[in-house]
Amino acid sequence: MNDDSSEPKTGWLDRLTGLWGDSSDDEDPHAAIRHALRDALEANSLSAYNVSMMESLLDIHETQVRDIMVPRGQMTLLQEDWSMEKVLSVILESGHSRHPVVDEEHEKLLGILLSKDLLPQLTELDNESGFMHLLRPATIVPESKPLDAMLSEFRSNRNHMALVIDEYGNLSGLVTIEDVIEEIVGEIDDEHDEIEDAPIIALNDGTYQVQALTEIDEFNDAFHTTLSDEDADTIGGYVLLALGRMPHIGESIHAQGLIITVSKANQRRIISLNVRQDAS
């Protein structure tokens, strides 16, 4: 019997695990792992989706919270001076389970209101104590926080949402554990409805698909409009402010000769818009 034929073949998993300890000081272990993953893909040992997900894990330490957060202009905020009726209306309209609460001037973060904490209060018909005593402390993180550290913090403190501040301490957005997971595994809410990378795309019917995170200056240049960026930086934020709440898919606003319609959104943010000329 040939001794060589009895020697076990090295599989892709053995190669991956060996790369952590056997790589030399001059060798980039991430590059070596990517090479091993590509070999596994070509050998049909791993699917393209699994390879893509593993490569996302390799990159997660280089991605920062600012890259995936929901911008402030697209956030649904509650105010401390709102009546219980208005709070309930906003919660039901938005469909969110967690809600940042701010003061009247929107300058101070007061905490997070969980919908489930509010439910027992609804059974007490004569209760006039409001909702502020139900607030939970808000987790505050900087825009520069790496996603791997953010995911670790979510796991350790069992929070699902963090509020993001800029270098001056101002509220700039929010990030959820779902946002971090989606960065690894892809869109969760509607993985079959993909959005093109280009911020503005001309469609065959004469309309345009516009990503909600397109900056208003870029939108104005493309459509020859003069929409104000004083209160919102992105076109999605502009639409949100114009409607005064998180819109449903299919809702529209009219702006300077255009009809801007929400074409894709989830419970937390607007994702894309359809823009067409207003023929009326």
| Each residue's pLDDT tens digit, 191-234 | 334 445 678 998 888 899 999 989 999 999 999 999 998 888 89
pLDDT at 18: 53
Q: With respect to CATH, is domain 67-185 assigned 3.40.50.300?
A: no
Indicate if the pLDDT at residue 21 is higher than 60. no
Has this prediction a pTM greater than 0.85?
no
Residue 150: strand pairing partners: none
Percentage, residues of the chain above pLDDT 70: 80
Q: What is the pLDDT of residue 274?
A: 93
pLDDT at 230: 85
The 10s digit of each residue's pLDDT in 104-161 is: 888 788 999 998 888 877 766 545 678 888 999 999 999 999 998 998 999 888 888 9
Whether the CB-CB separation of 56 and 184 falls below 8 Å is answered with yes
CATH of range 200-277; options 1.10.10.10, 3.40.50.2000, 3.30.465.10, 3.40.50.300 = 3.30.465.10
Domain boundaries, given as residue ranges, for the chain: 3-62, 67-185, 200-277
Q: Is 82 exposed, middle or buried (CB count within 10 Å of its CB: 0-12, 13-18, 19+)? A: middle
More confident residue, 44 or 85: 85
Q: What is the pLDDT of residue 194?
A: 46
Query: In whole angstroms, how far apart are CA 29 and each of 23, 33, 76, 84, 212?
Result: 6, 6, 42, 55, 37
Q: What is the mean pLDDT of the chain?
A: 80
Query: Do 200-277 and 67-185 have the same topology in CATH?
Result: no
Check residue 2 and give its pLDDT.
46
- Helix (H/G/I), strand (E/B), else coil: 272: strand
Return the pLDDT at 226.
94
